[in-house]
Structure formats: structure tokens, C-alpha cells
A and B are shown apart, each in its own frame.
Chain A
């Protein structure tokens, strides 16, 4: 059975801190790993990672995939209160159209 594990499950930091969120996966026929941010409604897409060792960056957020060790990290630098959310990691397996296997998420709280 496919499995995605995120850690920590919750994290409280102060504004301006840097955080690292972890995601490990055991997925047959792995294709890609995705990171989403979820506030009150639907998950919003952050990154898709398919190749190992290539960092994806968007502003203060960055992410990288290690296909040998089967994990990914999401870094957020200079955190702001607006970064408070649940960050979900999800893996895609198979080909074409397959559902996402989600981890339980990391609930990140940024205190002013």
C-alpha cells in the first residue's frame, strides 16, 4: 500500500524564522511528488517535483526531492503570519491519471 509520511505534524515558530517540513514516501511506480498549502478551503498548488536534486523555488519557498532516499523537504525562509497553514505532501504513482496519496500534513503556525 502506498504511504506518505510527513513530519512534524505540527510546528509553531516566530515570524522571521526559517522552517523545514519533511515528507517521506513509499509508493509503487512513483512519478512525482507535490506540495500543497491548505488554509481554510481547497489545497493550493506549490510545487511539483519529478527529478532528484533539482531545487524548485518560488519566493521564500523552496523544495527538493531525493529519489534515492525517498523524501522531499519544503523550506520556508523569513516566515510571515500569512504562511500559517497546513502543508500537504502528496505522491503520484502509475501513469496518466491517478489519485494523489496524501500525507497527514504539517500544521504550521507562525506567531507574530
Chain B
């Protein structure tokens, strides 16, 4: 089973709203990722959690706040977003063994976010 689930599938929010994106995996992976993908562009890394600790933050604005409550769950809290933040937000997970060949990242279906 290589399934990563994300909710909601679609989200429309105003610039003053607070919302959260959720991601879940049950593959025993200890690394989880948030990517942002704009139309006709490749995914761009936002955050990496390794063993429930934030290990990489790619200079993401503070209006995006990640949280990893446990090894299976990853949240992205959104507050005071701008229209240019509208994008597909992808969650991924992988093993974090550091062993070559075990780093495949499996992606969830994404949340399509529209900020009005």
C-alpha cells in the first residue's frame, strides 16, 4: 500500500480565514513533506518533517504553519493567505532511513486551494 490521503480535495477561502489542510499515511514512513504546485509548474518544496521534527523550511511565509502531531499525520495551517497562494498543495511521505534507494516519495492527491 503506497497511499497518502489528503483532505479536503478542494478549498476556497477568503484572505481573513483560518483553515487547515490534512495529510495522512499508514506506510510507516517517518518523513513527510509539503509541496506547493502552481499551474504548469513543477512542485516546489515547502517543509520537511523527519521523525516528527521540522527539518527543512524553505523560507516559507509565516502565514503557512506546518504541524506533525504524530508519525502518520501532517497538517498545514493557513491564515491570512493572499490570492497568489492559490495552488495545488501536495503532501508526500517517504522512509527516512538515509539508505540509498529507499527515498522514494509518494504523493497524495493534493488539495486545490483558491484564495479570494
Residues of B within 8 A of A45 (CB): 2, 104-107
* Chain A interface, number of residues (Cβ within 8 angstroms): 25
Task: Please state if B105 and A34 are interface contacts (CB–CB under 8 Å).
Answer: yes
- Is B96 among interface residues, defined by CB-CB distance under 8 A? yes
Docked complex Cα distance between A105 and B43 (Å): 10
Contact in complex: A98, B48 (CB < 8 Å): yes
Q: A42 to B50, Cβ gap below 8 A? A: no
**Complex CA distance for A75 and B20, rounded to whole angstroms:** 40
Expressed in whole angstroms, the minimum distance between the Cβ of A101 and any Cβ of chain B is 8
For residue A62, CB closer than 8 A to chain B, the reply is: no
* A 77-100 to B, binary, CB cutoff 8 A, 1 in contact else 0: 000000000001010100111111
Shortest CB distance B64–A (Å): 15
> Is A102 interfacial (CB 8 A cutoff)?
yes
Tell me, rounded to whole Å, the shortest Cβ–Cβ distance linking B57 to chain A: 11
- Tell whether, in the assembled complex, residue A42 and residue B103 are in contact, meaning their CB atoms are under 8 Å apart: no
Report chain B residues within 8 Å CB of A105.
42
Interface status of A48 (Cβ within 8 A of chain B): yes
A32 within 8 A of B: yes
CB–CB A98/B56 < 8 A: yes
Are B110 and A48 in touch, CB under 8 angstroms? no
User: Is the pair A102, B100 in contact by a Cβ cutoff of 8 Å?
Assistant: no
Q: Give chain A residues whose Cβ lies under 8 Å from the Cβ of B44.
A: 102
**Residue in A closest to B49 when the chains form the complex, CB atoms:** A97
- Cβ-neighbour of B96 out of A41, A96, A101, A103 (below 8 A): A96
A31 pairs with B42, CB closer than 8 A: no
**Other-chain residue from A32, A42, A95, A97 in contact with B90 (beta carbon distance below 8 A):** A42
Measured CA separation A96–B30 after assembly (Å): 10
Residues of A within 8 A of B (CB): 31-32, 34, 36, 41-45, 48, 50, 88, 90, 92, 95-105
8 contacts across the A-B interface (CB closer than 8 A): A41-B88, A96-B96, A96-B98, A97-B96, A97-B103, A98-B103, A99-B35, A101-B45
